[in-house]
């Protein structure tokens, strides 16, 4: 995990970035709750993808988040997985869980 974080940090800092702007769309039939998982959080660089997740089902609750996230939390991005991104078009960023961040 530490080696991966160092790799991500080096990639982004080499182009002068200390944070990335990410989006997250959430839909639920129930009220929104804090994360149930305490390892990773799936987000996207693409607002349209987050909006699709937000609008995916006629759910009772939905929210669309946008946040500047420090590259210190980024574990993996679609930039490293081009073959998968060509298939799924998710523009995904996987973040390490942060118990103090309810949205991301």
pLDDT digits (tens, 9 = 90+) for 71-91: 999 998 877 666 666 666 678
Give the whole-angstrom CA distance, residue 70 versus residue 90. Answer: 20
Is residue 98 a contact partner of residue 69, using CB atoms and an 8 Å limit? Answer: no
Give the whole-angstrom CA distance, residue 61 versus residue 76. Answer: 28
What is the enclosing helix (H) or strand (E) of 83? helix 82-88
Among the residue ranges 9-13, 31-35, 74-78, 89-93, the one predicted with the least confidence is 31-35
Is residue 78 a contact partner of residue 85, using CB atoms and an 8 Å limit? Answer: yes
E strands in the chain: 19-28, 40-44, 61-70, 74-77, 92-96
What is the pTM (predicted TM-score) of this model? 0.82
Q: Phi/psi of residue 31, each to 5°?
A: -70, 155
């Amino acid at each position: 995990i530490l080696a991966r974080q160092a790799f991500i940090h080096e990639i982004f800092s080499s182009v002068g970035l200390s944070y990335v702007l990410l989006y997250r769309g959430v839909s639920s039939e129930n009220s929104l709750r804090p994360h149930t998982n305490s390892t990773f959080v799936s987000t996207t660089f693409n607002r349209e993808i987050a909006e699709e997740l937000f609008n995916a089902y006629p759910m009772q609750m939905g929210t669309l988040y946008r946040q500047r996230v420090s590259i210190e939390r980024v574990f993996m991005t679609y930039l490293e997985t081009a073959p998968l991104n060509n298939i799924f078009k998710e523009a995904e960023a996987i973040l390490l869980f942060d118990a103090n961040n309810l949205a991301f």
